[in-house]
Amino acid sequence: MNNVMTKCMMLALSFGLIVDVQAMTVENKTPVETKKEALSVQDCIAEHLKRAEWCESPVTALHMAARHGHKSCVQAIIDTKSAADSRIGNVNSNYGFVTPLHEATTNGHLGCVKLLVAAGASINAGGTGCSPLWRAVNAWVFHKEKVNELSACVHYLLSLNATYDVEKFTEHERIFFDFCLAMYTFEKKKAAENTNAE
For residue 54, what pLDDT band results from cuts at 50, 70 and 90? low
Write down the pLDDT at residue 14.
47
CA distance 146 to 107: 8
Cα angle 54-142-8, degrees, rounded to a multiple of 5: 140
Least confident of 53-57, 58-62, 146-150: 53-57
Mean pLDDT estimate for the chain: 75
| CATH 2.60.15.10, domain 3-197, yes or no | no
Residue 73 has pLDDT above 80, yes or no: yes
Write down the pLDDT at residue 72.
86
| 157-170 pLDDT tens trace | 999 999 888 888 88
Q: How many CB atoms lie within 10 A of CB 172?
A: 15
Which residues, 6+ apart, have CB-to-CB distance to 10 below 8 Å? none
DSSP code for 22: G
Give the three-class secondary structure for 95: strand
- Taking phi over 0 as left and psi of -120 to 50 as alpha, with beta for the rest, 93 belongs to beta
Burial class (CB in 10 A: 0-12, 13-18, 19+), 137: buried
pLDDT: which is higher, 38 or 128: 128
For residue 36, what pLDDT band results from cuts at 50, 70 and 90? very low
For the CA atoms of the chain, what is the radius of gyration?
17
Write down the pLDDT at residue 109.
95
Instruction: List, in sequence order, every residue forming a beta bridge with 98; answer none if it has no partner.
Output: 95
| 116-129 pLDDT tens trace | 999 988 898 887 66
Residue 1 has pLDDT above 50, yes or no: no
| 77-106 pLDDT tens trace | 888 765 455 556 666 676 767 888 999 999
Domain residue spans in the chain? Answer: 3-197
Q: What is the pTM of this model?
A: 0.73
